[in-house]
Amino acid sequence: MKRGRDILGVGHLSSLGTRLIRLQDDDFTKCVDFYQNLALDKTLFLGENKSLMKTAHNIAFTLIVLLNKISAVPEYAIPYLRQLKSDTIQLLPSIVLGGKRTLHLFERASIEDLFRYIYFFDHKIEHMLLQKYPKRFQSFSSLVDWAKDHPSLSLDSQTTTQCFDEITSQYAELSRTVHGTTVADQQLLESLRDLGRPIAEVAQENRRMKSLYKNIFFLLLLFHVAEFRKLQLDERTLICRCLNRPQIEVLSGLATN
């Protein structure tokens, strides 16, 4: 079975096309060196846990690159994009500290940030009212409903429908951990001794993170699809590593459904 990079053709691109990937790899090495100097548990930087750290760093790095390319964002919508960037950056330190519940909190917040951005992009008055009356906020379900009906996102596409289904399901799953609905989801006092150690079920957390941000990136890019198609080769190569093939085809205008 071909590896993800080979499927996207990354392994056959010129050095120009992989410039940002190399920069991302160098930046991750510097992050690891920084955390290793804090005298943390050495197993943090081995095997699956290092792979989870790599995933979180790649997502944050890629998001920063993307947000720097998105233009013509209304002033009143910018704070929601900044919050998305902030919450995504917090993934890596959450992993290093071994706080799975904290990790889930920032993943869940990233979903909310995305849908708030999409909603307030076209709602200047509602944004102003929210600042004056903080209790007048939109529920998560109403934000999702708005996004589903938005002309940029209401494509008759199986890929888009699946994305909405997955991201709402992921939000519900993360909410169970954040709110601690079962004892297994709670982080009790004993968990303080686990700070700075690898997160439990790290392979599962890695799969969850990749799947979640794949959908976050897809909806954000679909919302700004014209700007996605204007990106440079190295920018698109970096971003497409966070997507699956059907999503890339939709964004590139190649999808048949």
Count of CB atoms situated within 10 Å of the CB of 162:
15
Does residue 5 register a pLDDT over 60?
A: no
Average pLDDT over all residues of the chain:
87
Across residues 172-179, what is the average pLDDT?
Answer: 88
Does residue 129 register a pLDDT over 50?
A: yes
pTM, entire model: 0.88
**Residue 157: pLDDT band with limits 50, 70, 90:** confident
Across residues 71-81, what is the average pLDDT?
Answer: 92
Q: What are the Cα distances from residue 15, in Å, to 8, 10, 25, 68, 202?
A: 15, 10, 14, 22, 33
Across residues 121-130, what is the average pLDDT?
Answer: 89
Instruction: Give me the sign of the Cα torsion angle 186, 191, 194, 195.
Output: positive
Looking at per-residue pLDDT, the higher value among 126 and 215 belongs to 215
Across residues 76-85, what is the average pLDDT?
Answer: 94
Separation between Cα atoms, residue 44 and residue 93, nearest integer Å? 12
Q: What integer pLDDT is reported at residue 15 of this predicted model?
A: 67
Q: What integer pLDDT is reported at residue 158 of this predicted model?
A: 92
Looking at per-residue pLDDT, the higher value among 99 and 148 belongs to 148
**Residue 197: pLDDT band with limits 50, 70, 90:** confident
Across residues 192-206, what is the average pLDDT?
Answer: 78
Separation between Cα atoms, residue 174 and residue 238, nearest integer Å? 27
Residue with tokens 């846990």, as numbered in its chain: 49
Across residues 213-237, what is the average pLDDT?
Answer: 95
pLDDT digits over 6-49, tens only?
Answer: 444 445 455 667 889 999 999 999 999 998 888 788 888 889 99
Does residue 178 register a pLDDT over 90?
A: no
**Residue 215: pLDDT band with limits 50, 70, 90:** very high
pLDDT digits over 234-257, tens only?
Answer: 999 999 999 999 999 999 987 665
- Helix, strand or coil, per DSSP, at residue 39: coil
